[in-house]
Structure 1
Amino acid sequence: MATIQECREALDRLSGNLARADEGVRGAAAFDRSLSCHITDLDQTFTGRLQAGRIRVDALTPGPPADKAEIRLAMTGDDLVALVAGELKFAKAWATGRVRLEAGFRDLLRLKTML
């Protein structure tokens, strides 16, 4: 089981990957939205922002997200680490329920380009 530190490092790697992405992906990521990522097996939530093509983590709190972020993710720590490492494909994980993603329709369209 992934640790909170490994999950935080995975989010940092994802942020770096977005910053280094090609122009199309960077353009899709260059919006400003609140973000939460609930690590279900550890029952911890990272909150922050997706802003200017980077993920900024502001806080880690126990339990599910207290506030409804504009982009909400939920998954196990192992799945987060595997997604960022490229060992798990987002579409398959989402289709099978391993990853939950909630966002407005326009945001979902933009996120599709990134994921």
Structure 2
Amino acid sequence: MATVQECRQALDELSKRLAANAEDARKRLNLDRTLACRISDLGVAFNGRITDGQLVDIVDGDNPNAKIALTTTSDDLVAMVRGELDFARALGARRVSISASPFDLLKLRKLI
């Protein structure tokens, strides 16, 4: 089981990768939405914002009003960010779940 710190680092790494590819990310994911990332096996959550294809303002704690909520285990989060677990396959196998409006789900598909 990955630690809370490893999950935080994974989200920070994802944020840095999106920032490094800002133009491409903006084309693929042009949203401005709050995001909650819930880690089911650790009972913790992080929240932030997706804006202009970037993941910003990541902090500890849940946001029950987040427009997009992702739930997964600590190991799966770390594996997805490292590229060891394909996001689409994890979604299909129900190792990760996403709660969002139908419009937002269509936009998020561009990242898969």
Instruction: Please give the TM-score of this superposition, normalised by the length of structure 1.
Output: 0.86
**How far, CA to CA, are the matches of 2:11 and 2:58 in structure 1?**
12
1:114 and 2:101 correspond: no
CA contact (8 A) 1:18 1:29 kept: no
Aligned residue pairs total 112
> Which residue in the other structure is 1:82 paired with?
79
> 5+ unaligned residues in a row in structure 2: which ranges?
none
SS at match of 1:81: helix
The 1:55–1:23 alpha-carbon spacing in structure 2 relative to 1, beyond 3 Å, is closer
The 1:66–1:34 alpha-carbon spacing in structure 2 relative to 1, beyond 3 Å, is closer
**Letter of the structure 2 residue corresponding to residue 77 of structure 1:** S
**Letter of the structure 2 residue corresponding to residue 43 of structure 1:** G
The 1:66–1:114 alpha-carbon spacing in structure 2 relative to 1, beyond 3 Å, is closer
> Which residue in the other structure is 2:11 paired with?
11
CA contact (8 A) 1:19 1:54 kept: yes
> 5+ unaligned residues in a row in structure 1: which ranges?
none
Instruction: Please give the TM-score of this superposition, normalised by the length of structure 2.
Output: 0.88
> Which residue in the other structure is 2:100 paired with?
103
CA contact (8 A) 1:75 1:99 kept: yes
CA contact (8 A) 2:33 2:51 kept: yes
> Which residue in the other structure is 1:30 paired with?
30
Q: CA RMSD in A?
A: 1.7
SS at match of 1:15: helix
User: Offset at 1:66?
Assistant: 5.2
Fraction of identical pairs, as percent: 45
1:49 and 2:49 correspond: yes
**Letter of the structure 1 residue corresponding to residue 66 of structure 2:** A
**How far, CA to CA, are the matches of 2:22 and 2:64 in structure 1?**
32
